Structure 1
Amino acid sequence: MRPRTSRSGWLAVLAVAAVTAVAAPSATAASVDPDAAPVQAAVAAPDIPLANVKAHLTQFQSIATANGGNRAHGRPGYLASVNYVKAQLDAVGYTTAVQSFTYNGATGYNLIADWPAGDPNAVVMTGAHLDSVTAGPGINDNGSGSAAILEVALAVPRSGFTPDKRLRFAWWGAEELGLRGSRHYVNTLPTAERAKIKQYLNFDMVGSPNAGYFVYDGDNSDGVGAGPGPAGSAQIEQTIQAYFTSIGVPTRGTDFDGRSDYGPFISVGIPAGGTFTGAEGIKSSAQASLWGGTAGQAFDPCYHRSCDTSTNINDTALNRNADAIAYAVWALAQAATPPGSTVWSDTFETATGWTGNPAGTDTATAGAWERGDPAATTSSGVTTQLGTTVSGSFDLVTGALAGSSAGTYDLDGGVSTIQSPAVTLPSTGTLTLSFSWYLAHLTNASSADYLRVRVVGTGTVTALNATGAASNRTAAWQTGSADISALRGQTVRVVIDAADASGASLVEAAVDDVTITQS
């Protein structure tokens, strides 16, 4: 697990958990995801042999010992760890791929493995980071998560399980340096492929010697921090909690604080969840009463130290978490896609392949649509372009620069169009397009000026058709949505166009946070 810039936020999370540890968590009706019911598997998950998980940890320790004492990014011990895991998966029939990336002048690797069964358009993905810090072999952080998901993956062919959804497992590189591997994977995954990932499960440190039993708080019902995950995360949380309830182990929420490899997934709207047994935080007396162990001591006293070796593991916690992983994977792989799940989304913080003037028929002479970090512009006291976006720093905007005057980079001369990459829509459920937008203009505008958002497949659904008028209209973010279920099962594109068709009028427009959900 990567270090935090500041420990205060994490310690605050643990403090809240300690205060609420004696009583069962509660939530107001407004904070509970209505689609948070746990999933129960029709085919029960197998018991995951602790001895097998520990055998993988022994291999990781041996690899570190033979390669300078660690398995860190850019070091030979990391690549040897990738090769070990890959060989195990290849031998039982997984389709594996090693994805390379560069960080700090060194080559890093992600290992991705798909089981060749189940719906390829509905993927349940399970991941753990495989790298250690340079200080030690990283057996709990995160050999434990890596070994546990490896043994769960190996249990699929061994048990004869036939999942309804496609199972994908991932071992991430350079997590300890800032989620570099998982972020590279998410950011470079084609939009249509990203939309196929319906749930992501993350397991980072699941055998801490002074263990706690934390589950990512999908619906914010424990109120431990930044808020709930994307729609559908609560169902993952409830499914994992159902397993621990079945074995009589209480759990507490841990926040989606972006500390591990689920961060890049939730940032693009993919539901996520997982478990965590604690890092450098201190176990409280209430938590020791709840779970056993030593109050006043770190959950993992060897966190990011040379002593994070094969002896730095709580076998009971590792065994319980490995079985919880299998329970969640088996249940989610047999379940329908959770209501409210994200089919596709774009916050425009990274370039995802939108195309300007896609048909080659645009007539605008300036201020064409672009993905940009917008500069604020005003004219005669009217804000014509906002310098802030709905999320992050980038949006789609008609000419992002400010220029010497408000009219320098505004939309001029006619129509400008921009088109999303192809999106394959599910064939079932209610499909909804949602987005944020504004249209701004001065009194020299008319109803010939407009901002329009459409979804185009074999048919077309118009989600917005905002027209101008001969009045001042200041830029202000609004939300729009439309039912696009008529296009189910089609490959579509979101098409956005704006027009300055009133001669010398001053017109600006922007769109942000475009999302398609299924319910």
Structure 2
Amino acid sequence: MNRRLLRCLTGAVLAAASVVVPAGAGPAGAGPPGTAVDDSVGLLAAPDIALANVRAHLAQFQSIATANGGNRAHGRPGYLASVNYVRAQLDAVGYSTAVQSFSYNGATGYNLVADWPGGDPDDVLMTGAHLDSVTAGPGINDNGSGSAAILEVALAVARTGLAPEKHLRFAWWGAEELGLRGSQYYVDNLPAAERARIGGYLNFDMVGSPNAGYFVYDGDNSDGVGSGPGPAGSAQIEQTIQAYFGSIGVPTRGTDFDGRSDYGPFIRVGIPAGGTFTGAEGIKSSSQATLWGGTAGSAFDPCYHRACDTTSNINDTALDRNADAVAYTVWTLAGTPAPPGTTVYSDTFETATGWTVNPAGTDTATAGQWARADPAATSSGVATQLGTTVSGSFDLVTGPLAGSAAGDHDVDGGVTSVQSPSISLPASGTLTLEFSWYLAHLTNASSADYLRVRVVGGSTGTVLNVAGAASNRAAAWQTASANISAFAGQSVRIVVDAADAGGASLVEAAVDDVRITRS
């Protein structure tokens, strides 16, 4: 990672329920048979990237540096040897590779670009990392880590015979440490028509820092860092990466597009970009250490740009997670849909999968907020909260405790909401959202009280809208189903709201076994 540039981290029933979805549908597409499907995104599942394989590439980079004056820097023999090593790996499995040369500081530099056959040539997903080190050391974290991770993902593409809708291109850049010289040369020499074909660029620079943080480039400026969002489309990349880390229970924080790595030339010409970063010479704060572990008051990488940036300077957990994040992001954004008849997304709530309570920060309920929990049974003449779920022991429920009185943990004071993680829907097929639900209330309820389920993507569709009434309504599981094919090809979230919106009344609600299928 280039230090010379600016730094910044710093009364209705279901039959009468409203079902509304926007119009539209996507193009056809299908994946090869017999391949695992990722239920969280509705696409062919990315393989697990073996840490041992990534580590083996790092060992090769270390050996190359050791044999060539201790570094792999621009203009030095260790850099060209690194290019030759990566190229040989890719040529052996069927990539079309090309080495692009350029001059800087009186020395010849090289970019290695590798294309996987197939996919739409007018819709290129590009993944890159810089391959050079500084002259002071072998550059194993900076940036052998990113180079090795994307190399192993590229090899996994070949091993699995991936046939995505988009065309896949991988690149290893030269002279990044001298000011993004290689990637800038590549972008500057792309004809305008070729630039327009690149729909997104993924950048991975320093993904194994020993005192690691988990940073994701802030594509939509939602974290409020730096000067603003990236080009249109960057937010989708950010959300895809966040969805992966959310699925493994690892919190992330945004880091700005500060021009410090090889995404810089791409975003300057309007190409959407994103990626991950585990930290450089910046100091980990006490709050970051609480969030991620590690040592507060120490650099994320104490060997940044030093001779000690060797294979010992790697956090294996961070490297493993980030390599898998690279694969997940490539497989998801490349667009290889699950075959028809498959489950696109499912959640039984038996484990935490990244649903967020009060996602917009606008909830007004003072009690009975949504929770993923093992609910206690409650009643007041009729059952108001069920102690049994549709499957397993957990569901999404408003105020899961029983309390000493019937109204102790019901919804009070307004609206409580909960939102799913981002779900990437396939671009074709009939998509159906199914779930189980109940709304319970007593005679002090009114039509202002409700349970509502929406799908939110490029537009919003309400798939369930059940109002209360001034009558007893016992809790009883029911099922709902809605065609959401209008959202095909989009990244969406499911939002569930429950409200005690009239006068004080006893209102309880629950949702379980959410599933999206493609047929």
TM range (shorter): 0.5 to 0.7
Which residue of the partner structure matches residue 3 of structure 1? Answer: 3
Bigger RCO of structures 1 and 2 (CA < 8 A, at least 6 apart): 2
Q: Which amino acid aligns with 2:3?
A: P
Work out whether 1:311 is the aligned partner of 2:312: yes
Which residue of the partner structure matches residue 202 of structure 2? Answer: 201
Which residue of the partner structure matches residue 251 of structure 1? Answer: 252
In structure 2, relative to structure 1, the CA distance for the partners of 1:335 and 1:157 (3 Å cut) is closer
How far apart in 2 are the matches of 1:41 and 1:333? 12
CA contact (8 A) 2:216 2:254 kept: yes
The 5 A counterparts of 1:419-438 are none
Other structure's SS at 2:64 match: helix
How far apart in 2 are the matches of 1:134 and 1:41? 45
How far apart in 2 are the matches of 1:323 and 1:249? 13
CA contact (8 A) 2:44 2:336 kept: no
Work out whether 1:102 is the aligned partner of 2:103: yes
Q: Which amino acid aligns with 1:258?
A: G
Other structure's SS at 2:221 match: coil
The 5 A counterparts of 1:198-347 are 198-334=199-335
Offset at residue 335 of structure 1 (A): 7.0
Which residue of the partner structure matches residue 89 of structure 1? Answer: 90
Measured against aligned partners, the alpha-carbon deviations of 1:10-31 in whole angstroms (never above 9, x if no partner) come to 3xx32xxxxxxxxxxxxxxxxx
CA contact (8 A) 2:216 2:277 kept: yes
Q: Which amino acid aligns with 1:156?
A: V
Which residue of the partner structure matches residue 133 of structure 1? Answer: 134
Q: Which amino acid aligns with 2:43?
A: A
Measured against aligned partners, the alpha-carbon deviations of 1:369-427 in whole angstroms (never above 9, x if no partner) come to xxxxxxxxxxxxxxxxxxxxxxxxxxxxxxxxxxxxxxxxxxxxxxxxxxxxxxxxxxx
Other structure's SS at 1:124 match: strand
Following TM superposition, where does structure 1 have runs of at least 4 consecutive aligned residues deviating by more than 2 angstroms?
none
Measured against aligned partners, the alpha-carbon deviations of 1:177-228 in whole angstroms (never above 9, x if no partner) come to 0000000000001111111000000000000000000000000000111100
TM-score scaled to structure 1, two decimals? 0.59
CA contact (8 A) 2:208 2:278 kept: yes
Which residue of the partner structure matches residue 459 of structure 1? Answer: none
Measured against aligned partners, the alpha-carbon deviations of 1:80-116 in whole angstroms (never above 9, x if no partner) come to 0000000000000000000000000000000000000
How far apart in 2 are the matches of 1:71 and 1:300? 19
Other structure's SS at 1:195 match: helix
Offset at residue 161 of structure 1 (A): 1.5
TM-score scaled to structure 2, two decimals? 0.59
Work out whether 1:116 is the aligned partner of 2:117: yes
How far apart in 2 are the matches of 1:302 and 1:94? 34
CA contact (8 A) 1:41 1:334 kept: no
In structure 2, relative to structure 1, the CA distance for the partners of 1:133 and 1:41 (3 Å cut) is farther
Offset at residue 157 of structure 1 (A): 1.4
In structure 2, relative to structure 1, the CA distance for the partners of 1:63 and 1:83 (3 Å cut) is same
Which residue of the partner structure matches residue 411 of structure 1? Answer: none
Aligned length: 309
How far apart in 1 are the matches of 2:119 and 2:109? 30
Alignment root-mean-square deviation, CA? 1.4
Offset at residue 5 of structure 1 (A): 4.7
Moved more, 137-146 or 151-160: 151-160
In structure 2, relative to structure 1, the CA distance for the partners of 1:268 and 1:77 (3 Å cut) is same
Which residue of the partner structure matches residue 55 of structure 1? Answer: 56
Other structure's SS at 1:171 match: strand
Which residue of the partner structure matches residue 191 of structure 1? Answer: 192
How far apart in 2 are the matches of 1:41 and 1:97? 34
Measured against aligned partners, the alpha-carbon deviations of 1:130-181 in whole angstroms (never above 9, x if no partner) come to 0000000000000000000000000011112211100000000000000000
How far apart in 2 are the matches of 1:243 and 1:231? 21
Offset at residue 40 of structure 1 (A): 2.8
How far apart in 1 are the matches of 2:246 and 2:184? 33
Q: Which amino acid aligns with 1:217?
A: D
CA contact (8 A) 1:215 1:240 kept: yes
Which residue of the partner structure matches residue 415 of structure 2? Answer: none
How far apart in 2 are the matches of 1:243 and 1:198? 21
Which residue of the partner structure matches residue 44 of structure 1? Answer: 45
CA contact (8 A) 1:101 1:108 kept: yes
How far apart in 2 are the matches of 1:221 and 1:165? 27
Which residue of the partner structure matches residue 178 of structure 1? Answer: 179
How far apart in 2 are the matches of 1:335 and 1:272? 20
CA contact (8 A) 1:214 1:252 kept: yes
Other structure's SS at 2:188 match: helix
How far apart in 2 are the matches of 1:314 and 1:5? 25
Which residue of the partner structure matches residue 65 of structure 2? Answer: 64
Structure 1: gaps (5+ residues): 15-38, 337-519
CA contact (8 A) 1:210 1:298 kept: yes
Q: Which amino acid aligns with 2:309?
A: D
How far apart in 2 are the matches of 1:5 and 1:91? 37
Q: Which amino acid aligns with 1:160?
A: G
How far apart in 1 are the matches of 2:88 and 2:336? 30
In structure 2, relative to structure 1, the CA distance for the partners of 1:5 and 1:45 (3 Å cut) is closer
How far apart in 2 are the matches of 1:295 and 1:54? 27
CA contact (8 A) 2:163 2:336 kept: no
How far apart in 2 are the matches of 1:124 and 1:40? 18
How far apart in 2 are the matches of 1:223 and 1:141? 27
How far apart in 1 are the matches of 2:234 and 2:336? 14
Offset at residue 41 of structure 1 (A): 4.9
How far apart in 1 are the matches of 2:211 and 2:196? 38
Q: Which amino acid aligns with 2:160?
A: S
CA contact (8 A) 1:41 1:335 kept: no
CA contact (8 A) 1:41 1:332 kept: no
Offset at residue 4 of structure 1 (A): 3.1
In structure 2, relative to structure 1, the CA distance for the partners of 1:90 and 1:41 (3 Å cut) is farther
How far apart in 1 are the matches of 2:4 and 2:276? 18
Which residue of the partner structure matches residue 507 of structure 1? Answer: none
